[in-house]
Chains A and B, each alone.
Chain A
Amino acid sequence: MQEFTNTETISFEQLDELVLWINKIHGFNFTGYSRASLKRRVTRIMELRGLSLFDLKSLLVNDFNFLEEFIIEITVNVTEMFRDPTFYRALREKVLPYLASFQRIKVWNAGCSTGEELYSFAILLSLEKLYNRAFLYGTDINTYVLDIAKKGIYDLKQMKVYSENYMATGATGTLADFYTAEYDAASINHSLKKNTLFSVHNLVSDGVFNEFQLISCRNVLIYFNVELQKQVLNLFYESLCPFGFLCLGAKESMRDLDLLKKFKIVDKTENIYQKIA
């Protein structure tokens, strides 16, 4: 993403007004999102397409396809397989042995983007011979990324970085054991896809839809303000089975004291928590 002009394209006041307006017209509620991030994303759309605020609004009203693109553009979808290898190491060492004691292992990957994180979990579970007992749900607000996630086909060039991440987790074998390469595409093995389901779920407005042994929501909460973070963490609490695990991103720790009382900290640096009350 190139940074463009030297003058402000949209002010915070205009942004707030736009956000309220989108909620009213389309029912998408971005009021609890990080305003700094939204401002940067909206600025980028306006600059790339040469739109004034007026143009932007009329496109949003008149062109449904544009609304879809807009949602994709203002949310950040960047992801990787085995992003933060030390997290996956902690998961294998501290969480999977415990998960093995559950009869069924239901995993919810909230804000899964294009699926790389979910397939990383699938690989970890299969290495520990837990995959057949497991079912993984990937959810996001964005249908475009979910379609990519369902296909499980990625750019082969990306696999180089992902393989390095994989090695750094200390797992046995190589990442190449889990995909087949064809031309410039890497296709995740079918056996890893069979116990997965990707579907739309909006963390802001949708509620509990199942009970999970493990919930992972990484690099999503940083785009929310403190109030919305708390609301979503409560949703996760309600969605976890007793002694279920919650994994947050490397820079997303649970700070709310009322919530912290109900969790045990399993790993302080990797932000892994277990529901205990």
Chain B
Amino acid sequence: MLNLTSNIISKIQNAEILLIGCSAGGFNLVYELVASLPAKFPLPVIVIIHRSRKYKSSMEDLLDSKSRIQVKLSEDKENVKKGCVYFAPPDYHLLLEPEGCFSLDSSEPVLFSRPSIDVTFKSVADVYNDKVIAMLLSGANEDGADGLCYIHDKGGLVIVQDPDSAEVRRMPEAALTRCKGGLVLNNPDIFTFLKSIATNRK
């Protein structure tokens, strides 16, 4: 049973965007999470996953057909809107402009990753400040830890998948070492948490 403190509930009510970062071992969970969202989920969602540019991934298309909510790859200078889940395209960093649209960026990988979770998390926090909820899931490197700290320090809400329920624990574990004060949730609670965003924002 997930018990949220009033502080967390007020952060949920204050939030204007949801970020999800994941890598090795997290794809299935992301798939299930996105598929569970209602069509009118109250926040725009941005998903950063590490995947090779060599294989054409159709995760977005598949999810779009299976989900109630719209799912797509984010495009350069596209405006961010709620009711949509945006995936970062492989081989680009995804940045957010203060004007409220995306920019793609082909600069160097960060921690061998492009897209980098850190880069997007920080960029979004620079625009949304404390109105961010960020979730970091399973993965085999340390991407995301910096970004989570940054969001946390700006007053956003930080959620880390319990390393014990992650398929690959390195990424959530690194985040927990670096960034104290995040909310640690196991898989069922992550689903409950997403539901509580929908109810607390009505």
| CB proximity to A under 8 Å, residues B135-154 | 146-147, 149-150, 152-154
Contact A229 to B77, CB < 8 A, known contacts A2-B110, A3-B118, A40-B123 = yes
Interface residues of chain A: helix, strand, loop or mixed (majority): loop
Whether the Cβ atoms of B103 and A226 lie closer than 8 Å is: no
Interface residues of A, count at CB 8 A = 27
Q: Does A126 contact B (CB under 8 A)?
A: no
Whether the Cβ atoms of B106 and A219 lie closer than 8 Å is: yes
| Chain A min CB distance to B174 (Å) | 13
Q: Does B98 contact A (CB under 8 A)?
A: yes
| Chain A min CB distance to B37 (Å) | 25
Bound CA–CA A268/B19 (angstroms): 30
Q: Does A36 contact B (CB under 8 A)?
A: yes
Interface residues of B, count at CB 8 A = 32
Whether the Cβ atoms of A225 and B77 lie closer than 8 Å is: yes
Q: Does B191 contact A (CB under 8 A)?
A: no
Whether the Cβ atoms of B98 and A12 lie closer than 8 Å is: yes
Q: Does B89 contact A (CB under 8 A)?
A: yes
| CB proximity to A under 8 Å, residues B147-174 | 147, 149-150, 152-154
Contact A36 to B98, CB < 8 A, known contacts A6-B153, A252-B76 = yes
Whether the Cβ atoms of B105 and A35 lie closer than 8 Å is: no
Interface residues of chain B: helix, strand, loop or mixed (majority): mixed
Whether the Cβ atoms of A251 and B92 lie closer than 8 Å is: yes
| CB proximity to A under 8 Å, residues B100-149 | 103-108, 110-111, 116, 118-119, 122-123, 126-127, 146-147, 149
| Chain A min CB distance to B132 (Å) | 14
| Chain A min CB distance to B175 (Å) | 13
Whether the Cβ atoms of B105 and A39 lie closer than 8 Å is: no
Chain A residues with Cβ below 8 Å from B103 are 34, 36-37, 222-223
Q: Does B95 contact A (CB under 8 A)?
A: yes
Chain B residues with Cβ below 8 Å from A3 are 110, 116, 118-119, 122, 146-147
Bound CA–CA A7/B98 (angstroms): 17
Whether the Cβ atoms of A251 and B89 lie closer than 8 Å is: yes
| Chain A min CB distance to B61 (Å) | 14
Task: Give a binary string over A1-29; 1 marks a CB under 8 Å from any B CB, 0 the rest.
Answer: 11110111000100000000000000000
Whether the Cβ atoms of B105 and A76 lie closer than 8 Å is: yes
Bound CA–CA A229/B126 (angstroms): 24
Chain B residues with Cβ below 8 Å from A36 are 95-98, 103, 123, 126-127
Chain B residues with Cβ below 8 Å from A78 are 106-108
| CB proximity to B under 8 Å, residues A110-140 | none
Bound CA–CA A1/B123 (angstroms): 15
| Chain B min CB distance to A83 (Å) | 9
Q: Of B97, B111, B116, which is within 8 A of A34 by CB?
A: B97
A interface, CB within 8 angstroms of B: 1-4, 6-8, 12, 34-37, 39-40, 76, 78, 219, 221-223, 225-226, 229, 249, 251-253
